Amino acid sequence: MDEKKLQDLLKLLQINNGDLTKLNAQQRKDMKDYKFWKTQPVASFDEKIDTEGPIDATKKPEDIPDDPYPLLNEFEWCNINIDDSQQLQDVFVLLNENYVEDKDAEFRFNYTPEFFNWALKSPGWKNEWHVGVRVKQTQKLIAFISAIPISLQIRGKTITSVEINFLCVHKQLRSKRLTPVLIKEITRRVNKHDIWQALYTAGIVLPSPVSTCRYTHRPLNWSKLYDVGFTDLPPNASKAQMVAEYTVPNKTKLNGLRPMTMDDIDEVYNLFEKYQSRFDLIQTFTKDEFKHWFLGHVEKSNQEQDVKKKIVFSYVVENKETNNITDFFSFYSLPFSILKNPTYKELGIGYLYYYATDADFEFNDRFSPEATKKLRKRLDELISDALILAKQANMDVFNALTSQDNTLFLDDLKFGAGDGFLNFYVFNYKAFPVTGGLKEDKSYDVEKRSNVGVVML
């Protein structure tokens, strides 16, 4: 299957550029000449890491300036109040029109107020960490960057941190060098709260990745993808063959599968924490954070939401004999707008989020052939049903990274390897490499899998 349209969008979203682990001489030279990152507390490409820990641990909040970084005279800083409908509108108009668009201007990420309420208002969120730049004369929002508080864990060591996301500058102003100033300003604001590390992702190679994962894609509605020009018909294949290849069943198969509810929180939380402990790079959640991320920032319970406005979908499998929850999985929705098609206006895109299962808990070595076989079988069953539920929620493509234990099911469930990659970075922290589910040739590593257990939006 030709996934060129999807790859173009993902490349733009993550600024992908090919090989992310082995740099040629020109790439290394370019990085050495990269003025901004040379000034930041990040590990250099050739730096040998002997121990993990902060790069600069000397500063204190009182050492950080109280005043924001200077901007060009025609611009001014602002805090974006997500609770204000007009300011929220300003953000999603900026991102919808400037964050990503394929080169033919046919598809665009379609952010909604519901998505931003979920993504930017996790417990502990701060208004001052939703940073905008406006034109003084017109008050038009022309740039944005955000941070949310997270508890990061690297090989068992907990690090108070933030997640940086939604960095966007209006496409007509990208020559104004606003991006470095946005990064420095959000860093200043976070530092004032005595937080010195940040998790962020990018497709470009920056100094220096902790891990690299690959994007994979599973068509759910091949006919629609073809009709809107999102994919091409492969050589020596018919439309009917492609539709048949990617058709999913109408009904789920797992006994005891149902939407997760508030009553499940304690049990699922414990299952999730135990499963996550196997990975080297994770985000740990409080129970309030767990409720937010997996039941959504809404007043109604998940099963009562309008599916068109629903962002996160979480399900559990309950053993009917013991009444214990044995499995959990989730995915979220971030659709594309279709700009030039007379029939279709939106393309449904699902993203695999977090999951957990007790399938291999009985084994001391989760990499043993017996444990791997059992986990693979269970993940095939779980994610197969996730694909069916995503299709029922009007999603046309389902995306996953090679993170977590995903490499066990990607081939089995017909996920195609994309040519987009995602780098994980930790600001002001040196860390040994974390496996991302990839071999040297960038194919799936089913044997070693991935030790990345964190999922960023």
Q: Hey, which residues are catalytic here? A: 457
First-last CA distance in the chain = 26
- Coil, strand, or helix at residue 58? coil
- The whole-angstrom separation of Cα 163 and Cα 201 is 9
What's the one-letter identity of residue 385? Answer: D
Longest dimension (CA), the chain: 68
Q: Do 130 and 163 contact (CB within 8 A), yes or no? A: no
d(CA 299, CA 351): 23
Show Cβ contacts of residue 42 under 8 Å, excluding neighbours closer than 6 positions.
55, 206, 207, 208, 425, 427, 428
What's the distance, CA 210 to chain centroid? 16
Residue type, 97: E
CA–CA gap between residue 275 and residue 259 (Å, rounded): 20
Q: Which of 310, 300, 299, 314 is nearest to 395 (CA)?
A: 310
- Cα(345)–Cα(295) distance, integer angstroms: 28
> What is the Cα–Cα distance from 457 to 449, expressed in whole angstroms?
21
Question: Residue 25, exposed/middle/buried by CB under 10 A (0-12, 13-18, 19+)?
Answer: exposed
Candidates 20, 47, 25, 5; CA nearest to 423 is 20
Rounded to whole angstroms, the Cα distance separating 457 from 292 reads 14
Measured distance CA(115)–CA(311) in Å, rounded:
6
CA 446 to chain centre: 21
Contact 352, 334 (CB under 8 A): no
| DSSP calls for 337-387 | EESS-SS--EE-EEEEEEEEE-TTTT-S-TTSHHHHHHHHHHHHHHHHHHH
